Chains A and B, each alone.
Chain A
Amino acid sequence: MIAKMALTPDRDPHVSWAPEREQSSGIAASVRGVSKRFKKSRVLEDISFDVAEGESLVLLGASGSGKTTILRIIAGLEQPDSGRVILHGKDVTDLPARERGVGVIFQAYALFPRMTVEKNIAYGLKIRRRPRKERRETVDRLIKLVQLEQHRKKYPSQLSGGQQQRVAIARTLAYKPQVLLFDEPFGALDAQTRVHLRREIRALLRQVKVPSVFITHDQEEALELGDRIAVLNDGRLEQIGTPDDVYNHPATEFVATFLGAANLLIGVAVGGFVEIGTAKLPAEKETRRFRDGQSVKLVFRPEDVCVSQDANLPEGCRRLTNGVIEEVNFVGAYERLTVRLDLTHRKGDTDALYEVTINTPQRMTGVPIMVTRPKPEANALRYKTGDRVAIGLTSFSVLPNYTLARQR
């Protein structure tokens, strides 16, 4: 029932639910330099981003990062202290919510409890005093689109969470919204339904071609739903880019650790290498932007580590150092190794030689790093505690080490 709708993407292929307009700039929504304070605390600081026509952008951040406030500012439910909101070239910063034509899918869907599915969907047209015939036709098409034909006379309380969400989407599509805003759309659902529903919504959005902004704190959700992801931390935009960008080339430590697990080592950029204690990692391209002797952070994902029992690391793998297997765990889809690296201080180093960060928020300072291996590789060559191995990296990021200057 839930899955069937994701598999029929070409239903009603000629209908676009995006507003009719000349496709000029290709930018559907812009947030320009928006800042906001509540009482004394800063919620948003100088946030700017664009949402392209037909694009889906995910605002990813922990609770309290300000992501909901951005959404409410775009919707007109909250006023920014400074900055502008532009929808399809029109500055709407001073318009009230009802004149913006934005579709908001609230966290608990906010369906009108005393109206049937049909009436909920027709509400926007009723408010706009559209003729009865047009209302009926639009509702019919939308009910078909979201596959609720059998439920059109039901009340929201008689529907499942997923069905309610589809009604909420149809209710906004009815008035051809400028942009769709989803506030933690899967927060209230269990893990399994969540995965189903986001695929369903992704398919639906491809079909209706309405630009969308999602809000979530779930990185997996962000990677799956977003054409682009904007990572927010404490009211600031840390990075905005494609899922591939933010996952594989995180611009900041926060992005690296918030999206998935990451290992973090502190070193120095010297002559095209990252020196970490006594280890030297060739990184000419990655260290180009640093001056010699600058303190840097080496960030890499557990799955980007290659491990070998002889000195011959696979091709494309840059050698870091040697280490000892400390722990071997099977975690379902893959194997997780804890490897203690042979890194020693050089003379004069500070004590923070490296850190390992595993999926936030606990941060252990110490020798080990996390390595994951896919099952076939793990089955082909088993390691046991105490094995000595060579360690290399296929991919990593080198970030400036501002730790002391940037204590937030």
Chain B
Amino acid sequence: MKITSIRHVSGFDVARPVSIGMMLGIMLPLVLLPLLSIFVYGFGKGPGVFWSSLVAPEAVFALKLSMVTSFWATAFNVLFGLFAAYVLSRHDFWGRNAVIVTISLPTAIPTAVAGFALLLLWGKYGMIGRYFSENQQIMFTPYAIILANIFVTFPLAFGVIKPVFDTMSRSLEEASATIGATRWQTFWHVTLPSLRGAIVSGALLTFARAVGEFGSTILVSGNLAGRTQTAPLYIFAKFNEGQIEAANAIAIVLALLSFVIFSVLFFARDWLEFAQEA
């Protein structure tokens, strides 16, 4: 008889349904109902309204812009995160811990502050921006959105890749070296394949976060419809204009995208973790 199986009530245990019910009762209005309401409201006026809101040129542009800027921010942050993780877990140098903390800092900074800081640096009168001529200005262009996305999602990929680097057995790389491989061959054939899972999940996290970025984007992009308006900004703008259906259609797309990314991360965990074995 196991000691842990001691029960306070014999037969039907009331605590079980009560505690499960309580948990769901708390979650319902806070998390589940808000998500549900987007879908209920979005399809409330029929799929036709939903569809026409979705294919409106400004909406399509906003979605596309979000995807493209998030893609480049993700590409940069994954590559840089990989490189930084390699440097920081393979070489010890003075100030290494300070660098690690600095890389992780953007997580803790409010996004509005991040956008504001970028404006101060790159803006027309900013420390760097003042040296750019009028038509070279970066702020209030799609490039500004990429910059903001990079800043805000900077530590995400690094944070996933670095621990895998740290725990990876050095003997794999040593084995590759004794077999005759150069450092580059070892990295390409041995190290990188072992990081596949971490790179994929790092990229998904970064992309998901970048697509939804609002606070910093609204400051640096100028929120110009059809030019620098990303999907979250579109939702905000249309809501302010009272066009609830238009806002709602895009909200549904963004919510679904998050579900998909989250499901991949969640259900592909076995596949992703296989990479970290051995």
**A→B interface (CB under 8 Å):** 75-77, 96-104, 106-108, 110-115, 123-124, 127-128, 156-157, 171-172, 175
Whole-angstrom distance from the CB of A117 to the nearest CB of chain B?
A: 14
Tell me whether B135 is interfacial, beta carbon within 8 Å: no
Q: Is the CB of B171 within 8 A of A112?
A: no
Q: Is the CB of B182 within 8 A of A98?
A: yes
* Interface mask (B159-191 → A, CB under 8 Å = 1, otherwise 0): 000000000010110111111111001000110
Whole-angstrom distance from the CB of A197 to the nearest CB of chain B?
A: 19
Identify whether the interface residues of A are mostly helix, strand, loop, or mixed: loop
- Measured in the bound complex, the distance between the Cα atoms of B190 and A124 in whole Å is 12
* 23 A-B pairs with C-beta separation under 8 A: A75-B178, A77-B174, A96-B177, A98-B177, A98-B180, A99-B180, A100-B178, A103-B178, A106-B174, A110-B169, A110-B172, A110-B174, A112-B189, A112-B190, A113-B193, A113-B278, A123-B179, A123-B189, A124-B180, A127-B185, A172-B179, A175-B179, A175-B180
Q: Is the CB of B178 within 8 A of A114?
A: no
Contacts of B172 in A (CB 8 A): 110, 112-113
Contacts of B185 in A (CB 8 A): 127
Tell me whether B241 is interfacial, beta carbon within 8 Å: no
Q: Is the CB of B178 within 8 A of A127?
A: no
Whole-angstrom distance from the CB of A336 to the nearest CB of chain B?
A: 41
Q: A77-B174, A106-B174, A127-B185 are in contact. Are A114 and B193 (CB under 8 A)?
A: yes
Given A102-B178, A110-B172, A112-B172; 19 other pairs, CB 8 A cutoff: A75-B174, A77-B178, A97-B174, A97-B177, A98-B178, A98-B181, A101-B180, A108-B171, A111-B278, A112-B175, A113-B172, A114-B194, A123-B176, A123-B179, A123-B189, A124-B179, A157-B278, A172-B179, A175-B180
Q: Is the CB of B178 within 8 A of A108?
A: no
Contacts of A98 in B (CB 8 A): 177-182
Q: A114-B194, A156-B278 are in contact. Are A106 and B171 (CB under 8 A)?
A: yes
- Measured in the bound complex, the distance between the Cα atoms of B177 and A97 in whole Å is 6
Tell me whether B92 is interfacial, beta carbon within 8 Å: no
- Measured in the bound complex, the distance between the Cα atoms of B181 and A76 in whole Å is 13
Tell me whether B277 is interfacial, beta carbon within 8 Å: yes
Identify whether the interface residues of B are mostly helix, strand, loop, or mixed: helix
Q: Is the CB of A104 within 8 A of B178?
A: yes
Residue of chain B at shortest CB distance from A106:
B171
Contacts of A156 in B (CB 8 A): 278
Residue of chain A at shortest CB distance from B181:
A127
List 5 tightest A-B contacts by C-beta distance, closest first.
Answer: A113-B278, A114-B193, A110-B175, A110-B171, A97-B177
| B177, B194, B277: the one within 8 Å of A157 (CB) | B277
Whole-angstrom distance from the CB of A287 to the nearest CB of chain B?
A: 48
Q: Is the CB of A171 within 8 A of B277?
A: no
Contacts of B190 in A (CB 8 A): 112
Contacts of B196 in A (CB 8 A): 114
Residue of chain A at shortest CB distance from B179:
A124
Residue of chain A at shortest CB distance from B192:
A114
- Measured in the bound complex, the distance between the Cα atoms of B174 and A172 in whole Å is 13
* Interface mask (B194-225 → A, CB under 8 Å = 1, otherwise 0): 10100000000000000000000000000000
- Measured in the bound complex, the distance between the Cα atoms of B179 and A110 in whole Å is 12
Which residue, of B169, B181, B193, B278, has the highest number of chain A Cβ atoms within 10 A? Answer: B278
Q: Is the CB of B181 within 8 A of A108?
A: no
Q: A156-B278, A157-B278 are in contact. Are A104 and B174 (CB under 8 A)?
A: yes
Which residue, of B171, B175, B178, has the highest number of chain A Cβ atoms within 10 A? Answer: B178
CB contact list, B126-182 vs A, under 8 A: 169, 171-172, 174-182
| B169, B171, B180, B275: the one within 8 Å of A127 (CB) | B180
- Measured in the bound complex, the distance between the Cα atoms of B181 and A171 in whole Å is 13
Contacts of B175 in A (CB 8 A): 104, 106, 110, 112
Contacts of B277 in A (CB 8 A): 113, 157
Q: A123-B189, A156-B278, A157-B278 are in contact. Are A108 and B169 (CB under 8 A)?
A: yes
Residue of chain B at shortest CB distance from A168:
B175
Whole-angstrom distance from the CB of B198 to the nearest CB of chain A?
A: 13
Contacts of B178 in A (CB 8 A): 75-77, 97-98, 100, 102-104, 172
Q: Is the CB of A127 within 8 A of B179?
A: yes
Whole-angstrom distance from the CB of A191 to the nearest CB of chain B?
A: 24
* Interface mask (B36-51 → A, CB under 8 Å = 1, otherwise 0): 0000000000000000
Residue of chain A at shortest CB distance from B186:
A98
- Measured in the bound complex, the distance between the Cα atoms of B175 and A77 in whole Å is 10
Contacts of A128 in B (CB 8 A): 180
Residue of chain A at shortest CB distance from B172:
A110
- Measured in the bound complex, the distance between the Cα atoms of B171 and A128 in whole Å is 20
- Measured in the bound complex, the distance between the Cα atoms of B178 and A104 in whole Å is 7
- Measured in the bound complex, the distance between the Cα atoms of B172 and A365 in whole Å is 48
Whole-angstrom distance from the CB of A129 to the nearest CB of chain B?
A: 11
Contacts of A123 in B (CB 8 A): 176, 179, 181, 189
Contacts of B176 in A (CB 8 A): 112, 123
- Measured in the bound complex, the distance between the Cα atoms of B277 and A156 in whole Å is 11
Which residue, of A100, A108, A114, has the highest number of chain B Cβ atoms within 10 A? Answer: A114
